[in-house]
Amino acid sequence: MDGTRLKFIIVGASTAGLSSAIALKAAGHDVLVLERDSEVGGPRTIPTGGVRLPPNGCKILFDWGLEAEIRANAVVGEGFTVYKYAGKDSDRDYLGTHRWDPELLSEARGDFLQMRHADLLRILYDAALREPSRRQTNGHTSRSTVTIEFGAEVVDADFDACSVTLRSGVVHRGDVLIGADGASGFIRQRLLTEEDEPADDEFNGLAVYSAIIPKRLAVTDSELKKLYKYPQKNMVTFSVGSNRGAQAFLAGKDEDVVFWVYTPDSVQDGTWTQPAERNIKDIVGACDPLIERLALLSGPATCVQIKNHYELDSWVSDSGKVVVLGEAAHPFPIISLHTYSVAIEDGAFIGKIFSHTSDPGRIMEFLHAFQENRKPRCTHIDLSERQYINVMALRDGPMQAARDAAFRANEAAGRNVMDSGDLDLQQMWDDMRTVFGYDPADDADEWWVSWGRLRDAPTASKGKVLADIVDSDAECA
């Protein structure tokens, strides 16, 4: 790449937005991040939830030199235990345990980390503003900058001019516009309009309540205190019910309890920054003692629907100057395992691929290469996540009975709960192993070596990289 720099405007100081800023700055470009909220992570008056960060996400942060900060704000998870949501005879009904394979973690170069959302964003924010390490920039000196503006709500955009207008009236222009402002964000909605599709997504019947129980309260309760004893301290507790479910795990340096409940008993179309209309204890239904105690001690909760989101035909605008990533491109089901890790992957990939060019004429080509390489993986993970939720929230019936029997049989045989059974659980878990080993930087470099470096002319068009190369070779002959 020559000495010139592209200017990227990123809408949204989200995990995807801040990760992109870090990677693009390291690649030698200038970045402006526009965030609607007044501070990173949203208003402090809103309780922030938890993050589960599998190896494919945390190893990227480690490679960026953030391992010490990340580990200082995380609990290392060792697996999960599974219980029946409703319990049995006024007690808990244990189905089995799954422990992460040390060999899998070693191969993937990461851990399963449990953090607070606000802590992760703060670390990414600080990293975006710091000078990148020589390792990130491959040893060359970077004069690129990242600027982050808060209270900067985008109310209009010109995709052809690659500009955005803020509510304040200020207009920003750049070479590339990135939408990283979520499933309901402005840039995604404009792409939906460009495709002449409705902006509304389909509610699937379940909502997720999210709440935090501070450690100082949890350790005073005889039932919740068990969460702080090994090995449960390092386990996520899954509770599976009939069209219901719950999760609880320790997160962050303070080891507060993150509590999530899947419930059909709420139709609120809420957000992560909007208080739930109902108290979490009023929507848990018939449940075991742990869930009951968690609900009673929970602080303010949020309520977000699990939706079937419309799938964009293209993550790239017709102008070829605008792209969406993270939840704005591929919204996963709420509280999916890979929501954060895949957002970080997106940021790492977009930065790595643009480390190979500063030519404005190749922007369209590179943005379409981003989609063509990332979309199959994201679609695959999304389908796996939905399958996982469906298995965990099966309605009572033959499939649910088979699942429970498989779990209990594995536990009795001393196996991991997901190791085998009639529900293809082993296949599901084997698939996850391939997911954890992925490296977006390697993927981006492979595209560059195989396709990108072969092009001299800045004339790439959507989906025609290979055809253009072949035509060019034929003309030269």
Give the pLDDT confidence score for residue 457 in this predicted structure. Answer: 43
Could you tell me what percent of the chain has a pLDDT over 70?
Answer: 88
Give the pLDDT confidence score for residue 73 in this predicted structure. Answer: 96
Position 137 confidence tier, pLDDT thresholds 50, 70, 90: low
Over residues 179-224, the pLDDT tens digits come to 999 998 999 999 999 998 766 677 778 889 999 999 999 999 998 9
pLDDT higher than 80, residue 41: no
Q: Which residue has the higher pLDDT, 230 or 319?
A: 319
Give the pLDDT confidence score for residue 200 in this predicted structure. Answer: 63
Q: Which residues make Cβ contacts (< 8 Å) with residue 70, sequence separation at least 6?
A: 53, 58, 61, 62, 113, 115, 120, 123
Q: Mean of the pLDDT values across residues 386-395?
A: 83
Give the pLDDT confidence score for residue 102 in this predicted structure. Answer: 87
Give the pLDDT confidence score for residue 174 in this predicted structure. Answer: 97
Q: Which residue has the higher pLDDT, 186 or 421?
A: 186
- The rounded mean pLDDT for the chain is 87
Give the pLDDT confidence score for residue 465 in this predicted structure. Answer: 42
Which stretch of 15-19, 40-44, 209-213, 323-327 has the lowest confidence by average pLDDT? 40-44
Segment of 160-169, 384-393, 411-420, 454-463 carrying the highest mean pLDDT: 160-169
Over residues 309-332, the pLDDT tens digits come to 888 999 999 999 999 999 999 998
Q: Mean of the pLDDT values across residues 291-305?
A: 91
pLDDT higher than 60, residue 421: no
Q: Which residue has the higher pLDDT, 267 or 135?
A: 267
Q: Which residue has the higher pLDDT, 135 or 214?
A: 214
Position 389 confidence tier, pLDDT thresholds 50, 70, 90: confident
Position 458 confidence tier, pLDDT thresholds 50, 70, 90: very low
Position 49 confidence tier, pLDDT thresholds 50, 70, 90: confident
Which stretch of 197-206, 246-255, 395-404 has the lowest confidence by average pLDDT? 197-206
Position 275 confidence tier, pLDDT thresholds 50, 70, 90: confident
Which stretch of 126-140, 325-339, 357-371, 374-388 has the lowest confidence by average pLDDT? 126-140
Which domains does the chain possess? 7-77+115-200+310-386+435-456 (3.50.50.60), 82-100+203-308+396-433 (3.30.9)
Position 139 confidence tier, pLDDT thresholds 50, 70, 90: low
Give the pLDDT confidence score for residue 472 in this predicted structure. Answer: 39
Q: Which residue has the higher pLDDT, 70 or 458?
A: 70
Over residues 65-76, the pLDDT tens digits come to 999 999 999 999
